[in-house]
Chains A and B, each alone.
Chain A
Amino acid sequence: MYRDRSRYKMFTRRALMLSGGQAVLLSALATRMYYLQVIESARYQVLAEENRINLRLLLPSRGRIVDRFGVELAVNEKSYRVVIVSEQTKDVEETLDKLGAIISLSDYERRRVRHEIKRRRGFFPITVRENLVWEEVAKIEVNAPDLPGVMIDVGQSRRYPHAAAAAHLLGYVAAVSEAELTGEPLLALPEFRVGKGGIEKVHDLRLRGKAGASEVEVNAIGRAIRELARREGQPGDEVVLSIDMALQKFAYDRLGDESASVVVMDVHSGEVLALVSTPSFDPNAFTKGITTAYWRELTGNLRAPLTNKAVTGQYAPGSAIKMVVALAALEGGILTPDHKVFCKGYIQLGNARFHCWKKHGHGHTDMYKGIQQSCDVFFYDVARRTGVDRIAAMAERFGLGQLLDIGLPGERRGLIPTRDWKLANKGVPWQLGETLIAGIGQGFVLSTPLQLAVMAARLANGGRAVKPTLVRSVRRAGEGKTADTGAEPPDFPEIKIGKASLEFITGAMNAVTNTPRGTAYRARIKEPGMAMAGKTGTSQVRRISMSERQSGLIKNKQKPWIERDHAVFVGFAPVHDPRYAVAVVVEHGGGGSKVAAPIARDVLLETQRRDPSGVSGPQRFARG
């Protein structure tokens, strides 16, 4: 008993200790619960939501690009791909066999599918092939009962109905590259396409639209259980270009195989009606995924099909610059139109001889004739008297030597040299001889076809500093013509040139094409009321050596293509009330009058026939 009692006492004591210990441990549990479920509760609620809610982005529909008349230039069309869901088919190989019988699967495709099936969960759809043609889709659908787990998925892909004709303008869309990832989740979606080059790139953000989102409840392995909420996205905005696609196509076809560019613009509003560069490429090839062979072909081609020559190509304008040189002299009070020079085929300056293109010279030449017959000697003289800096200043007023902000990637600013420029960039002072050749648009002088068109427009519209525009409006999809304001063009500032001077110059340009002695007479427009005025130019690529001159200048025809001169022509029409201006540059085309002028004639004729500015836009632009 005694023993039991003391044992009992010990037992009681220890029992209390033990139960006390247990109580402590239990309260530790309770404390932990408090910590997790009260103190940290908010944090865990967020994590719980993140667990179970998966935000799936809904791809927005990309905005269309249309021309001024609503003709579709870039649209979306349905693209079909066939997918397989492995958990819905008992035997993947068998199903693939059956599918292969319908659309003929390559070994590579089958291997890829097998590999993906192993990697992914059973409910994840694996793409077998993309961009199916309608026939294939129909066949698969018809055979659906025999193809368990095989489904057609509809997506969107970009199509350019006019393919190469407007390729440089529009650009193309392709998958997002590593460098372009900004962290925005939409860009990370594999099906998302981003604009590259051209309008697609410049207006990408607005064309893109806004992604919608679907809140999906998922379980631990990522299977979607149900959709909790859906927020529809917004389709991309539409971009309306000032381009007249029919005219663009006409110009593109007219250029044919040449490596050339054409720019047509409205002289008053600055709207660009056509902007063509050849050779071109098929932007649709990029949408589907360009083949290495085609890519190599494009990048390896010496004629640079991927370059937009109209804004990126920099050429010596040659004689096309003579109007500006003349105006520099007139406005500087240095010369009058009566100034005469005797052209004997060359001019001597120190040791150097500067030649006129006409071997034996033009004889007595005044300013009118100098332009009409493009006498180089006359303009050497004008340039010498005027000085390169004055010429440069006038050139800038007519849009040369600067970026015009047309809104296309790759725009170049050309080059109008000045004395300061030469000292700063070449380290040596300007030479007088360089002034002379600048006077005929050679030497350091460089301009793009776009700049030449703008120059022609500014000459034609009575002296307003018109700027080229490409986009008429960007509007919500589906708003149609109602939102197409064809808004008031900005009032362009005047260039502040004497009216008389300008009229004289444009009159001389008229002589170039419409008088028998004019260098472009053969390319004149004969249709009444649609006459064209302009200026030819031949841009030298290679210095002509003395020996060549003596033995007889080699005709362009006989030189290898790459050594031939570029052919240049700028013009406007109709002469009596100018509306449209054009610039044509044909690389290695040879003579401006022979090659470039006829193209300009055809294009301006077509432009006037179509009269794109007249049809759609109001005609109340301030003139002169």
Chain B
Amino acid sequence: MSDPGEFFHAEMTLRQKLWQINWGLVVIICATAVIGFAVLYSAANGSIYPWAARQMVRFSAGLAIMFTVALIDTRVWLRYAYLIYLGALALLAYVDVFGAVGRGAQRWIDLGAFNLQPSEVMKVALVLALARCFHAIRFEEIGRIRYLVWPLALVVAPAALVFRQPDLGTATMLVLAGGAMFFMAGVRFWKFGAVIAGALAMIPVAWHFLRDYQKQRILTFFDPESDPMGAGYHIIQSKIALGSGGIFGKGFLQGTQSHLNFVPEKQTDFVFTLLAEEFGIIGGLFLLALYLMLLIYGFAIAMRSRNQFGRLLAVGVTVTFFLYVFINIAMVMGLLPVVGVPLPLVSYGGTSMLTLLFSFGLLMGVYIHRDIGVDRSADAETL
């Protein structure tokens, strides 16, 4: 499109922005959501209540948020990135003290109309903050450890709080997403090697800090059959339901294992199992294909952006999204321990749906504003 040497200096009009909206992305997102509605309909034994209906409402609200966010200038996000981050961190701290405990031990704040889950919000906020942070660091400086302390702190603080909840899944996602952003920002390879080595060395220590049931979960992960009536039950049942779906599945609304409650949490963590049981490997691969397209879009947008902030933001959003997909599906198939990560756009859940669409909004925004050069210093109003 534009010559990379040239920056677009002027502001865009609303009409121009609308024109830039990536409708392909929107279509795929909607398609995925519709699949989600269908699965939730089945999960409720053929009724849109209680899950599908609410999900549709949230999705609509989320779409509105997505478009709004997309149309807002990326530089606005740049400016308020730290603020958003601090807000999320505060919420996390608050919920650590006052929050109600829910499934998967994630903590909620009851807002009446729905439950707010700060750990979900944190995922977006961290990406924003890291993008901002790395955007400001010069390319040459990226090698210097001194400059990495701050982003490191940005990752560790919320990860620790989330870990305390105790939400192993989200903590892992924060660390991995953060790590990906470090990677994309240009941190040298050896540093990653060092960190991984250090992490491995820390495992015995970390093990000590894990709660009993988390330890149990990990142990059961390695051998679900050792405790088929307890911790291993979910995984064994999930595999049975999945496996018995076969190639074409049992048919819509015919998923016996899920409907008879052999598979727990069928509307949240194990929603992929229900999908695979009813639609077989064909259905599973189809959803995976949709997710793959979203990921491709994400990376493409990242590559197209002309400013570091936008690139990092796009990558961060995409990687976070990828982690949702991978961790959840790996978990239900027995490749990872059960850690309570939802399947994006499909799992029933208010906060995750909204924050996901918010982050897709950011992604689209990056694309719309891709040709705007952004100065390193975020204070600059103009270029």
Contact = CB atoms under 8 A, between A and B. Distances in A.
Interface of A: 1, 3-8, 10-12, 14-15, 18-19, 22, 25-26, 28-30, 32-34, 36-38, 40-41, 43-45, 47-48, 51-52, 217-221, 225
Contacts of A19: 295-296, 299
Contacts of B296: 19
B241 interface: yes
Interface stretch (B87-95, B124-132, B257-265): B257-265
A26 B237 CA distance: 23
B315 interface: yes
Contact of B315 (A6, A18, A47, A217): A18
A36 B242 contact: yes
A4 B308 CA distance: 8
Contacts of B50: none
Contact of B244 (A1, A33, A44, A220): A44
A52 to B, nearest CB: 5
27 contacts: A3-B140, A10-B139, A15-B184, A15-B303, A18-B299, A19-B296, A22-B319, A25-B322, A29-B288, A29-B333, A29-B335, A33-B284, A34-B281, A36-B239, A36-B242, A36-B333, A38-B247, A38-B281, A41-B246, A44-B240, A45-B243, A47-B244, A48-B256, A48-B257, A52-B262, A217-B260, A219-B262
Interface in B277-320: 280-281, 284-285, 288, 291-292, 295-296, 299, 302-303, 308, 311, 315, 319
A51 B315 contact: no
Given A11-B184, A38-B246, A41-B247, A225 B295 contact: no
B62 interface: no
Contacts of A43: 243
B261 A220 contact: yes
A48 to B, nearest CB: 4
B242 A220 contact: no
Contact of B139 (A3, A15, A51, A218): A3
B288 A30 contact: yes
A18 B262 CA distance: 37
B329 interface: yes
B242 A18 contact: no
B186 interface: yes
Most chain B Cβ neighbours within 10 Å, of A7, A22, A32, A34: A22
A6 B139 contact: yes
Given A15-B315, A18-B180, A18-B183, A48 B261 contact: no
Contacts of A221: 261
A219 B4 CA distance: 62
| Chain B at the A interface: SS class | helix
Nearest to B241: A48
A328 B87 CA distance: 118
B179 to A, nearest CB: 11
CB-CB nearest 9 A-B residue pairs: A44-B243, A48-B244, A37-B281, A219-B260, A220-B261, A44-B244, A41-B246, A45-B244, A36-B243
Interface of B: 4-5, 138-140, 180, 183-184, 186, 237, 239-247, 256-257, 260-262, 264, 276, 280-281, 284-285, 288, 291-292, 295-296, 299, 302-303, 308, 311, 315, 319, 322, 325-326, 329-330, 333, 335
A121 to B, nearest CB: 13
A44 B186 CA distance: 46
A37 B261 contact: no
A37 B262 CA distance: 18
Contact of A37 (B237, B276, B288): B276
Given A12-B303, A51-B262, A7 B322 contact: no
Given A11-B186, A15-B184, 8 more contacts: A14-B186, A15-B299, A18-B183, A26-B291, A33-B281, A41-B244, A41-B246, A47-B240
Contacts of B256: 48, 52, 217
Most chain A Cβ neighbours within 10 Å, of B240, B247, B330: B240
A29 B244 contact: no
Contact of B335 (A11, A18, A32, A37): A32
Contacts of A36: 239, 242-243, 333
Given A18-B183, A22-B322, A29-B288, A37 B243 contact: yes
Most chain B Cβ neighbours within 10 Å, of A26, A34, A36: A36
B54 to A, nearest CB: 24
A74 to B, nearest CB: 43
Contacts of A22: 295, 319, 322, 326
Contacts of A51: 237, 240, 257, 260, 262
A15 B285 contact: no
Most chain A Cβ neighbours within 10 Å, of B5, B245, B256, B260: B260
A6 B183 CA distance: 15
A43 B244 CA distance: 8
B257 A52 contact: yes
Contacts of B245: 37, 41
Nearest to A29: B329
A1 B5 contact: yes
A51 B259 CA distance: 12
Contacts of B326: 22, 25-26, 29
Nearest to B233: A220
Contacts of B288: 26, 29-30, 33
A217 to B, nearest CB: 7
Contacts of B184: 11, 14-15, 18
Contact of A48 (B240, B276, B325, B335): B240
Contacts of A217: 256, 260
Contacts of B299: 15, 18-19
Contacts of B244: 41, 44-45, 47-48
A160 to B, nearest CB: 45
A427 to B, nearest CB: 63
Contacts of B260: 51-52, 217-220, 225
A219 to B, nearest CB: 4
B333 A32 contact: yes
B257 A37 contact: no
Contacts of A8: 4
A560 B260 CA distance: 75
A40 B329 contact: no
A37 B284 contact: yes
Most chain A Cβ neighbours within 10 Å, of B237, B262, B335: B262
Contact of B333 (A5, A33, A47): A33
A434 to B, nearest CB: 71
A22 B298 CA distance: 12
Contacts of A10: 139, 186
Contacts of B239: 36, 44
B91 to A, nearest CB: 29
A48 B180 CA distance: 40
Contacts of A25: 322, 326
A45 B302 CA distance: 44
Contacts of B325: 26
A225 B260 CA distance: 9
Given A30-B285, A218-B260, A7 B308 contact: yes
A221 B311 CA distance: 51
A4 B280 CA distance: 47
A33 B180 CA distance: 26
A576 to B, nearest CB: 79
A357 to B, nearest CB: 78
Contacts of A219: 260-262
A328 to B, nearest CB: 74
Contact of A45 (B183, B186, B246): B246
A43 B5 CA distance: 60
A220 B303 CA distance: 49
Contacts of B262: 51-52, 219-220
A608 B92 CA distance: 102
B237 to A, nearest CB: 8
